[in-house]
Amino acid sequence: MTGPGGPAERELEQRARAAQSKAYAPYSKFNVGAAVRMSGQIFEGANVEIASYPLCVCAERNAIAAAVIAGARNLEAVAVCTSVSPPSSPCGACRQVLLEFASDPKAVTVVAINPAGERRSWTLAELIPDGFSGKELP
């Protein structure tokens, strides 16, 4: 576990915490908020769960979608807030989506936090080593 970063990282984490309160998870009660810094701007997302679980959308993917709609394309940092201990890292699908927008996965920090103040952090490259990207496509 690492300690909190500078003001930019703290703002990202605060926005993820705020987004968690907006999650829609009536079945699992597993509320997740995420904030991504892309192209210098912060975008938030919350998980949206429906009775047909495979059709649910994670907070991280909703935050990326908000960024894309705004025209942002370069992922710089991610914060994810869950209420479990230790804080949860992004799921595999979210890791793949995050990778799509990271020009350098070794430079993208992903921090997982919870309301109790616990934190874990990784680089995106650590979370999805040798991940599949568009570089493999013709």
Domains within the chain, CATH numbers bracketed = 7-128 (3.40.140.10)
Cβ(118)–Cβ(3) below 8 Å: no
Would you state the pLDDT for residue 133? 85
The pLDDT of residue 1: 34
Whole-structure pTM value:
0.92
pLDDT at 3: 45
**Interval 103-117 mean pLDDT:** 97
CA–CA dist 32, 114 (Å, integer)? 10
E strand or H helix that includes residue 79? strand 75-81
Burial tier of 29 (Cβ tally within 10 Å: 0-12, 13-18, 19+): exposed
Answer yes or no: is pLDDT of 25 > 80: yes
* pLDDT the model gives residue 4: 56
Neighbours of 125 (CB within 10 A): 17
pLDDT digits (tens, 9 = 90+) for 50-92: 999 899 999 999 999 999 999 999 999 999 999 999 999 999 9
Q: Where in the sequence numbering do the catalytic residues fall?
A: 60
Q: Whose CA is closest to 86, among 126, 56, 121?
A: 121
CA 89 to chain CA centroid, nearest Å: 8
- Strands 75-81 and 41-46 turn out to be unpaired
| pLDDT the model gives residue 138 | 86
